[in-house]
């Protein structure tokens, strides 16, 4: 059981109890947490861990809630980072290294870098969530992943309160994956990350849909951001209007031999090289081909424009969405011999 004085020490504010997280998860599930508070300064959390015994088993750090799936009420403390600072760590004529705090809204940060002319993140425009979640998920879109620019991830170990600085090469970044989803899952609070961005144009428009969208347009950082936003708005539902967490499933990576067999059975299957004789299969194509796109049962459904997106049309409960997800996974395994992995973080 939590010591309320300790909780107050962490946050320096009065705790909210039996707090609804409906506005803090993009599926808009009306789940509750026993305690909720915003966290402006990580030092409060650090000092509480160092000076007092702290039950981290019932602590959850919640950012923008855009990639989180609450299966039920949370019987502990949810801390929501809200700190928003950007610091210049290093700068020369070629690049700049920035340190940005976890509570910064990701797209707001991307817009700031575009305004300043710091290149690299424009392809990652309009991705929902906060900066602190970016390295956990290794967010990516339109040919770019955030790992391409991260240099260091900083934070606090929840068991000791000790600070950590993990260089990018030790974060084990992979497709929508990192060490923070494995050995360090639930064991750290990410407070900041550092990114090295280019001060000279170094654009990536190799992704087919983005390249097509930019045809006939002068290639600038702002033009790329505008094109990415337009593409995303055309095919992805606004979570403020229809509850969703973006891509619910990962695109599976398989051996090229398996892809070649599938290609012989389904000549129009979509896939992309993933290195080392591997291929990344389009999960959206498989779900669409299996006729799940636009499927709806009650208020749980598959979005009609993007088969990777499961949606809450209003009153769906977590179990409704999860039931639909499991039906889709079983069907894809049966039809294609591929087991889809969920991209959302289950809580």
Let me know whether 255 and 184 are in one domain. Answer: no
- pLDDT recorded at residue 54: 58
Residues of the domain holding 42: 4-81
Do the Cβ atoms of 48 and 89 come closer than 8 Å?
A: no
| Residue 6 pLDDT > 70 | no
Backbone φ and ψ of 339, nearest 5°: -95, 115
Q: Are residues 207 and 137 in the same domain?
A: yes
pLDDT at 55: 64
Choosing from 185, 217, 232, the residue where a domain stops is 232
Length of the chain measured in residues: 347
Q: Which two tokens mark 267?
A: 């000549």
Give the pLDDT score at 235. 85
Please indicate, yes or no, whether residues 212 and 96 belong to a single structural domain of this protein.
yes
Provide the domain count of the chain.
3
Over 90: is that where the pLDDT of 12 sits?
A: no
Is the per-residue pLDDT at 131 higher than 70? yes
Task: Report the percent of the chain where pLDDT is more than 70.
Answer: 95
CATH at residue 44: 3.30.43.10
Let me know whether 104 and 51 are in one domain.
Answer: no
Q: What pLDDT was estimated at residue 47? A: 86
Spatial contact of 149 and 195, defined as CB atoms under 8 Å apart: yes
Asked if residue 136 and residue 38 are part of one domain, the reply reads: no
Q: pLDDT tens-digit profile of 111-122?
A: 999 999 999 999
Residues 158 and 122 in one domain: yes
Q: What are phi and psi of 228, to 5 degrees?
A: -60, -45
Round to whole Å and give the CA distance between 15 and 49.
17
Do the Cβ atoms of 269 and 281 come closer than 8 Å? yes
Residue 2: pLDDT over 50: no
Per-residue confidence (pLDDT) for residue 58, from 0 to 100:
84
Task: Work out the average pLDDT over 56-73.
Answer: 90
Two tokens, residue 87: 């610091």
Residue 316 contacts residue 304 (beta carbons within 8 Å): no
57 and 161 in one domain? no
Q: For residue 194, which of 47, 67, 85, 82 has the smallest C-alpha distance?
A: 85
Q: Which stretch of 43-47, 165-169, 268-272, 313-317 has the lowest confidence by average pLDDT?
A: 43-47
Residue 110: CATH number of its domain: 3.30.465.10
- 27/47 same-domain check: yes
Q: What is the CATH number of the domain that holds 275?
A: 3.90.78.10
Q: What's the whole-number mean pLDDT along residues 163-177? A: 96
Express each pLDDT in 243-276 by its tens digit: 999 999 999 999 999 999 999 999 999 998 988 8
The answer to whether 138 and 173 are in contact (CB under 8 A) is yes
Q: Indicate whether 260 and 314 sit together in one domain.
A: yes
Residue pLDDT, tens place only, 191-204: 999 999 999 998 99
In whole angstroms, give the CA distance from residue 287 to residue 235.
15
Q: Which of 40, 64, 81 marks a domain boundary?
A: 81
What is the rounded average pLDDT of the residues 18-46?
Answer: 93
Residue in the block written with tokens 């300790």: 6
Mean pLDDT of 292-301: 98
Whole-model pTM? 0.85
Domain-terminating residue out of 190, 211, 232: 232
Asked if residue 215 lies in contact with residue 235, where contact means CB atoms within 8 angstroms, the answer is no
Residues taking part in catalysis: 176, 247, 343
pLDDT for residue 56: 64
Are 152 and 246 in a shared domain?
no
Check whether residue 70 and residue 141 sit in a common domain.
no
Query: In this structure, what DSSP letter does residue 251 have?
Result: P
Residues 125 and 42 in one domain: no
């Amino acid at each position: 059981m939590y010591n309320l004085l300790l909780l107050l020490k962490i946050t320096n504010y009065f705790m909210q109890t039996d707090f609804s997280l409906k506005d803090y998860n993009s599926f808009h599930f009306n789940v509750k947490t026993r305690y909720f508070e915003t966290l402006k300064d990580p030092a409060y959390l650090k000092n509480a861990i160092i000076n007092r015994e702290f039950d981290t088993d019932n602590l959850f750090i919640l950012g923008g809630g855009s990639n989180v799936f609450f299966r039920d009420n949370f019987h502990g403390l949810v801390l929501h980072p809200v700190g928003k600072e950007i610091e210049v760590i290093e700068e020369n004529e070629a690049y700049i290294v920035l340190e940005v705090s976890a509570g910064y809204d990701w797209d707001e940060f991307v817009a700031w870098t575009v305004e300043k002319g710091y290149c690299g993140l424009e392809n990652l425009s309009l991705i929902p969530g906060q900066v602190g979640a970016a390295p956990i998920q290794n967010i990516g879109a339109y040919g770019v992943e955030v790992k391409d620019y991260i240099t260091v991830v900083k934070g606090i170990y929840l068991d000791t309160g000790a600070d950590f600085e993990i260089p990018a090469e030790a974060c084990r970044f992979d497709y929508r994956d990192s060490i923070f989803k494995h050995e360090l899952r639930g064991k750290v609070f990410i407070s900041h990350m550092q990114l090295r961005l280019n001060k000279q144009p170094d654009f990536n428009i190799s992704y087919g849909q983005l390249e097509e969208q930019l045809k006939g347009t002068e290639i600038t950082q702002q033009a790329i951001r505008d094109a990415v936003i337009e593409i995303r708005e055309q095919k992805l539902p606004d979570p403020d209007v229809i509850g969703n967490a973006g891509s619910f499933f990962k695109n599976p990576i398989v051996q090229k031999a398996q892809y070649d067999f599938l290609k012989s059975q389904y000549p129009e299957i979509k896939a992309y090289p993933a290195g080392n004789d591997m291929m990344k299969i389009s999960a959206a194509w498989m779900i669409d081909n299996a006729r799940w796109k636009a499927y709806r049962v009650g208020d749980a459904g598959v979005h009609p424009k993007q088969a990777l997106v499961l949606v809450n049309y209003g009153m769906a409960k977590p179990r409704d969405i999860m039931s639909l997800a499991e039906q889709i996974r079983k069907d894809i395994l049966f039809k294609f011999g591929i087991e889809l992995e969920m991209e959302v973080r289950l809580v």
